């Protein structure tokens, strides 16, 4: 299959990770809380907090109090999203330098139109080892602390912690332009403001007690990056999901045990064939091309990669190599 360069995003990686990707049909989205650069993902949060402070004087005390819950000081903000990075540039000197310090690196060209989904680590629908208070806030209660019941006698559920929620999976470009960043921040803030105002004006029994938007806004905030990194031309898949026990794996890292999510395609077998939000078995990744980084052994590296691809039955994956001259 021949594809235009604009239809691909390029995931840069080293040889060991490439072999794992090809063998297991998995791409790992790391926890935003454990990124190598702890400040990289704070740009959006900082801008949102500043916009909030600029608007504080024209907001009611009740709205300000609620917004403080969703827009805390940056250092206190938690990170529940998982991020997989790539680039729209398949032959980037910046990226080759970053991933090719000690050995030849590779850029995996992925079909950007094909969504990736989380791979479940457990197939069960309820927490296998819940803590004593795991379901404590599941039901709505009245002013006397009694569980509210529906007319049919069933308890009124506010939020089931085992309920399945998956957001993301599409490639989106990182935003470097300051004007575009300001526009995104304004949109996020206005949605938050309107949401808390609506909650405050609703009758108590109809109030939205569990509001998901503050979690989903992480995707927008995590797309904002300092313009100094513009030459990376980064694209990201950002995933937010629930419940974490069903999807989150861990690996060792320099900062402790690092949470991550495995992403794959829906081509694999699933326990529920109608389920299209996640997979229980890996599907074939939409790899269309693999580019080999700068090396004086281009012909040899190409031959060995084609051999590996043939072992995995990936005969339609195009193999190319960087046009950037190798420098020792």
Encode pLDDT of 227-253 as tens digits.
888 999 999 999 989 999 999 999 998
Q: Would you say residue 137 lies in a domain? A: no
The larger pLDDT score, comparing residue 208 to residue 30, is at 30
* Residue that wins the pLDDT comparison between 98 and 84: 84
Give the position of tokens 């694209």. 235
Assigned domain for 149 exists: no
pLDDT score, position 318: 97
When the pLDDT of each residue in the chain is averaged and rounded to a whole number, the result is 86
Cα–Cα distance between 118 and 263 in angstroms, integer? 5
What mean pLDDT is predicted for residues 130-143? 87
Say what percent of the chain tops pLDDT 70. 88
Q: What is the mean pLDDT of residues 142-148?
A: 81
The residue that leads in pLDDT, 113 or 74, is: 113
Residue 5 has pLDDT above 60, yes or no: no
pLDDT higher than threshold 60 for residue 281 = yes
* pLDDT number for residue 37: 62
pTM, two decimals, is 0.86
Domain count, the chain: 1
Selection from 38-52, 57-71, 148-162, 216-230 with the highest mean pLDDT: 57-71
pLDDT at 206: 42
245, 72 contact by CB (below 8 A):
no
The mean pLDDT value for 163-178 works out to 91
Confidence of residue 121 (pLDDT cuts 50, 70, 90): very high
Can you tell me the distance from the alpha carbon of 48 to that of 143, in angstroms, rounded to the nearest whole number? 35
In a domain, 66, yes or no: yes
pLDDT of 288: 97
Residues near 176 by beta carbon (within 8 Å), at least 6 away in sequence: 225, 226, 227, 229, 230
- Pinpoint the alpha helices (H) of 147-275: 178-201, 213-221, 244-247
**Residue 143: what pLDDT?**
79
- In this prediction, residue 168 has a pLDDT band, given cuts at 50, 70 and 90, of confident
Could you tell me if residue 131 is inside a domain?
A: no
| Banded model confidence at residue 36, pLDDT cuts 50, 70, 90 | low
pLDDT band at 202 (very low <50, low <70, confident <90, very high): low
Exposure class string for 19-50: b at 16+ Cβ within 10 A, else e = eebbeebbbbbbbbbbbeeeeebbbbbebbbe
Residue 187 lies in a domain: yes
Please report, for residues 78, 121, 182, 311, the alpha-carbon distance to residue 214 in angstroms, rounded to integers and kept in the order given. Answer: 11, 26, 18, 45
Q: Give the range of the structural domain holding residue 166, as residue numbers without chain letter.
A: 5-125+158-321
Residue 209 has pLDDT above 50, yes or no: no
pLDDT band at 268 (very low <50, low <70, confident <90, very high): low
pLDDT tops 80 at residue 15: yes
How confident is the model at residue 207, as a pLDDT?
43
- Of 109-123, 244-258, 261-275, 314-328, which gets the smallest average pLDDT? 261-275
Instruction: Answer whether residue 234 is part of any domain.
Output: yes
Query: Beta strand pairing status for 105-111 and 8-14?
Result: antiparallel
Q: Is 126 left (phi over 0), alpha (psi -120 to 50) or beta?
A: beta
Tell me: pLDDT of 8 over 50. Answer: yes
Residue 232 lies in a domain: yes
The answer to the question of residue 290 being in a domain is yes
pLDDT at 42: 81
């Amino acid at each position: 299959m021949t594809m235009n360069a604009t239809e691909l995003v390029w995931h840069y990686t080293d040889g060991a990770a490439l072999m794992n990707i090809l063998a297991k049909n998995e791409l790992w989205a790391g926890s935003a809380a454990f990124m190598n650069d702890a400040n990289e993902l704070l740009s959006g949060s900082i801008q949102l907090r500043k916009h909030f402070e600029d608007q504080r004087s024209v907001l009611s005390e009740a709205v300000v109090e609620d917004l403080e819950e969703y827009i805390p000081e940056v250092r206190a903000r938690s990170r529940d999203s998982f991020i997989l990075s790539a680039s729209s540039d398949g032959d980037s000197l910046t990226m080759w330098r970053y991933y090719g310090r000690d050995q030849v690196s590779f850029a995996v060209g992925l079909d950007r139109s094909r969504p990736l989904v989380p791979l479940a680590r457990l197939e069960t629908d309820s927490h296998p080892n819940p803590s004593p208070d795991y379901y404590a806030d599941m039901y709505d209660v009245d002013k006397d602390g009694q569980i509210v019941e529906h007319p049919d006698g069933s308890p009124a559920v506010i939020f089931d912690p085992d309920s399945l929620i998956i957001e993301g999976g599409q490639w989106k470009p990182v935003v470097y332009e300051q004007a575009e960043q300001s526009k995104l921040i304004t949109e996020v803030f206005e949605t938050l403001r309107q949401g808390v105002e609506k909650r405050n004006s609703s009758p108590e029994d109809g109030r939205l007690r569990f509001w998901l938007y503050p979690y989903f806004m992480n995707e927008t905030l995590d797309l904002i990056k300092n313009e100094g990194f513009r030459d990376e031309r980064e694209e990201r898949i950002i995933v937010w999901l629930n419940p974490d026990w069903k999807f989150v794996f861990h690996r060792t890292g320099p900062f402790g045990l690092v949470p991550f999510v495995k992403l794959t395609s829906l081509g694999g077998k699933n326990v529920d064939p109608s389920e299209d939000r996640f997979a229980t078995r890996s599907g074939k990744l939409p790899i269309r091309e693999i580019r080999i980084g700068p090396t004086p052994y281009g012909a040899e590296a190409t031959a060995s990669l084609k051999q590996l691809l043939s072992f995995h039955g990936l005969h339609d994956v195009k193999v190319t190599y960087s046009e950037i001259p190798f420098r020792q």
